[in-house]
Structure 1
Amino acid sequence: MRQVVLKQPGRFEIEQAPEPVPRAGEALVRARRVGLCGTDYHAYEGRQPYFTYPRILGHELAVEVVEAPANGRGIRPGDRCAAEPYLSCGACHACRLGKSNCCERIEVLGVHTDGGMRELFTVPLDHLHRSDRLSFDQLVLVEPLGIGAHAVRRSELQAGEEVLVVGAGPIGLAILEFALAAGGRVRMVEINPLRRAFAERRGVEVLTQPDERLAEVVFDATGSVRAMEKSFECVAHGGRLVFVSVVQSAVRFDDPLFNRREMTVLSSRNSVGEFPRVIGMIEGGRMDTARWITHRLAVDDVPRRFPELPKEINCIKAVVEFD
């Protein structure tokens, strides 16, 4: 089978490898769509925290089940699934608290361990979320949408609260969807014209930079230290600031401002328990993902086309197709 390996920063190779053999409690799956995101681009550039090389990328995964045990939790060959990439230990302090998304020994497919940018791989049965109604194009978006859902849940957003989302990339757009679903009064900040227009179709105001208005809940989904530091200035007295991206360097803030406004700063990592909710919302027509995928790559094109994607101003979401 073919697999795409990031051998070191800036260098992909397509290799042949033997087909994996599933262990007890696992299914063998075939990759159908693999979404590309900031984590993948940062890994390619050599600036992703918690990352080692060589690595097979791929944590946004739409798969077809090839082989599953007879008692496989209702999972059968031929099923279309979103594969949840977060492998947790189940025993550490975080897991015992129900926060497996920040397990002390977490392994995220495509980050800490090899991911899904290969024709076949194995996944724990309880990490497969089946849908008979969604396409592979829809299923590949479940993971990034789940990150947005988790961030909004972390914020404890209440209906009617003023919300500012900084960054209208896929994660920012996912936050937008769930903030609207929670009844937030949302505006966004985005400099990319295509992404501004994309967000405006959802009926929200989109600025090119923050104005003087403060928000009760601010989400930063930029992956930019400068933007993260600027976000503190946008938080209302008693408000919350949620960081949904991770950077390698320190983020600094004005402590007198932080104290005066008694703001709460939260991080949001991965998601926990959100996949069924996201799938249900798409199946129920409460979330339209039709325009999200703007760029498609064949497997053999990854080494050539991947480096250009972060520079593509017209890109919302790129996916690798394994059809």
Structure 2
Amino acid sequence: MRQVVLKEPGRFAIEDALEPVPQAGEALVCARRVGVCGTDYHAYEGKQPYFTYPRILGHELAVEVVEAPANEFGIRAGDRCAVEPYLSCGACHACRIGKPNCCERIQVLGVHTDGGMRELFTAPLGRLHRSESLTFDQLVLVEPFGIGAHAVRRSELKPGEEVLVVGAGPIGLAITQFARAAGGRVRVLEINPVRRSFAERLGVEILAEPDEELSEVVFDATGSVAAMEKSFERVAHGGRLVFVSVVQSAVRFDDPLFNRREMTLLSSRNSVGEFPPILRMIENGRIETAPWITHRLSMDDVPRRFPDLPREKNCIKAVVEVV
């Protein structure tokens, strides 16, 4: 089988490899779609803090099951599935208190361990979420939607609250959809005109430049230290600020402002328990998926096209069609 390996920052290679053999509790799956994420771009640039090389990218995954043993999850050969890429230990403090998304020994496919940018790989049966009606294009969006849904759940957003989403990349757009679904009055701050245009389809107010209005809940999904630091100034008294981005450097803030407004600062990492309800929401038409995938490439295209994807015209979400 073939696989795409990020050998080191800035260098991909397409390699032949042996077909993997499933262990107990695993299925053999065929990758159908692999979403390209900001994490992947940062890894390519050598700026992903949890990353080692060489690595097979791919944590946004839609797969077809090739073979599976009898199992309690009802997973069978031929099933179309979204893959929950977070492999937790089940024994550490975080896992014991119900937060496997920040497991002390977490292994995220495509980040800490090899991901799905290959024709075949094995996956734990309990991490496969099947749907009888969704397409591979829809299933590959479940993981980034999960990031957005988890961030909104972390914020404890209440219906009618004023929400500001800073950054309208795929994660910011996912936050926007789930914040609206939770009843928030959502505005989006984005400097990129293409992303602003896309966000307008979601029926929210769009800002090209910040204004003076403060928001009860602010989500930062920019991956920019400067934007994250500026977000403190946009939070209302008694409000919440949720960082969904992860950066390599320190983030600084003005403590008197933080104290005076008695704001709550939260981080949001991965997702936990969000996949099944997201599948149902997409199946029921509550979450829009049709316009998301704007760019497609094959495995052979990755070494040549990947570096320029963030700059390609009108790019919101790119996917690799592996098989």
TM-score by length of 1: 0.99
Q: Which amino acid aligns with 2:172?
A: G
Partner of residue 124, structure 1: 124
| Residue 61 (str. 1) matches residue 64 (str. 2) | no
Equivalent residue of 2:122, what SS? strand
* Aligned-pair CA distance for 1:312: 2.3
Equivalent residue of 2:314, what SS? coil
* Aligned-pair CA distance for 1:197: 1.1
Q: Mean alpha-carbon deviation: is it higher for 61-70 or for 194-203?
A: 194-203
Distance in 2 between the 1:125 and 1:97 partners?
23
Partner of residue 194, structure 1: 194
- Residue pair 1:29, 1:121 contacting (<8 A) in 2 also: yes
Q: Which amino acid aligns with 1:189?
A: L
Partner of residue 301, structure 2: 301
Q: Which amino acid aligns with 1:76?
A: R
Distance in 2 between the 1:238 and 1:142 partners?
32
Partner of residue 160, structure 2: 160
RMSD of the TM alignment (CA)?
0.7
Distance in 2 between the 1:144 and 1:71 partners?
27
Distance in 2 between the 1:215 and 1:312 partners?
33
Give deviations 1:25-49, integer Å, cap 9, x for gaps.
0000000000001000000000000
- How do 1:42-61 and structure 2 match up within 5 A? 42-61=42-61
Q: Which amino acid aligns with 1:262?
A: E
User: Hey, which bits of structure 1, 4+ residues long, moved more than 6 A?
Assistant: none
- How do 1:248-267 and structure 2 match up within 5 A? 248-267=248-267
Distance in 2 between the 1:201 and 1:114 partners?
35
Q: Which amino acid aligns with 1:258?
A: F
- How do 1:1-323 and structure 2 match up within 5 A? 1-71=1-71, 73-323=73-323
Residues matched between the structures, number = 323
* Aligned-pair CA distance for 1:193: 1.1
Equivalent residue of 2:222, what SS? coil
Q: Which amino acid aligns with 2:27?
A: A
Give deviations 1:75-95, integer Å, cap 9, x for gaps.
000000000000000010000
Distance in 1 between the 2:104 and 2:313 partners?
37
Q: Which amino acid aligns with 1:300?
A: D
Q: Mean alpha-carbon deviation: is it higher for 288-297 or for 313-322?
A: 313-322
Give deviations 1:11-31, integer Å, cap 9, x for gaps.
000000000000000000000
* Aligned-pair CA distance for 1:209: 2.1
- Residue pair 1:148, 1:171 contacting (<8 A) in 2 also: yes
Q: Which amino acid aligns with 1:120?
A: L
* Aligned-pair CA distance for 1:313: 4.6
Distance in 2 between the 1:291 and 1:259 partners?
42
Q: Which amino acid aligns with 1:138?
A: Q
Equivalent residue of 1:306, what SS? helix
Identity across matched positions, percent: 83
Distance in 2 between the 1:313 and 1:273 partners?
35
Distance in 2 between the 1:12 and 1:201 partners?
35
* Unaligned runs of at least 5 residues, structure 1: none
Distance in 1 between the 2:155 and 2:73 partners?
33
Distance in 2 between the 1:73 and 1:196 partners?
40
Equivalent residue of 1:133, what SS? coil
- Residue pair 1:192, 1:313 contacting (<8 A) in 2 also: no
Distance in 2 between the 1:203 and 1:127 partners?
33
Distance in 2 between the 1:319 and 1:62 partners?
10
Distance in 1 between the 2:136 and 2:186 partners?
29
Q: Which amino acid aligns with 2:309?
A: L
- Residue pair 1:25, 1:72 contacting (<8 A) in 2 also: no
Q: Which amino acid aligns with 2:155?
A: S
Q: Which amino acid aligns with 1:29?
A: V
Distance in 1 between the 2:201 and 2:32 partners?
29
Give deviations 1:167-201, integer Å, cap 9, x for gaps.
00000000001100000000000111111111111
Distance in 2 between the 1:83 and 1:245 partners?
22
Give deviations 1:84-119, integer Å, cap 9, x for gaps.
000000010000111000000000000000000000
Equivalent residue of 1:187, what SS? strand
* Unaligned runs of at least 5 residues, structure 2: none
Distance in 2 between the 1:70 and 1:256 partners?
59
Q: Which amino acid aligns with 1:106?
A: I
Distance in 1 between the 2:311 and 2:73 partners?
42
Distance in 1 between the 2:204 and 2:110 partners?
34
Distance in 1 between the 2:277 and 2:244 partners?
19
Q: Which amino acid aligns with 1:22?
A: P
Give deviations 1:294-317, integer Å, cap 9, x for gaps.
000011010000000122251100
